Amino acid sequence: MKVASVLFALAALCGIIVASRRHCPDLTVESCECAAERSGALNRRSARVTVACDDADLTDTLEPRALLTTTTSLILSNNKISMVKNGSFFGLHSLERLDLRSNLISTVEPGAFRGLVMLKR
């Protein structure tokens, strides 16, 4: 009986890891991390994807095509980003949180945040 419980727990853990990898992009920036948390609401399963590139010495925002459109949180704090260009976050319709604190931002082009309809903070 105990063996079956341990095997079940291991299988569940493997399922969580596989699901997390499926929802996370292959990031080209080594110092970025991605985590996916599955949530079920009203019998609908979705993944909340967080991409964290804080303190990664970035000088520019990530290419939007490098991220999944289901990304809900993008953390770019403590970098060296000086400009937020038009279309920097194009296609990230699910983005709820964008953290650009502690950067060197001096220019924000018109349209830089266009399409971020779910953004809360």
What pLDDT is attached to residue 19? 39
In a domain, 36, yes or no: yes
Q: Tens of pLDDT along 3-25?
A: 555 444 444 443 443 334 455 76
- The pLDDT tens digits for 48-58 are 899 999 999 99
CA 88-93-98 angle, to 5 degrees, is 55
Average pLDDT, integer, range 67-93: 96
C-alpha Rg value of the chain to the nearest Å: 17
Beta bridge partners of 52: 33, 75
Q: What is the mean pLDDT of residues 94-108?
A: 98
Domain with 86 in it: what CATH number? 3.80.10
Q: Let me know: does 70 contact 46? Beta carbons within 8 Å.
A: yes
Q: How far apart are CA 68 and CA 91, in angstroms?
A: 9
Question: Mean per-residue pLDDT for 60-71?
Answer: 91
The average confidence (pLDDT) of the chain is 81
* Amino acid at the residue 90: F
Whether residue 92 is contained in a domain is answered as yes
Domain limits for position 33: 2-108
Question: Which has the higher per-residue pLDDT, 22 or 85?
Answer: 85
Euclidean distance between CA atoms 61 and 13, whole angstroms: 33
In-domain check, residue 117: no
Query: Residue 74 has what pLDDT?
Result: 97
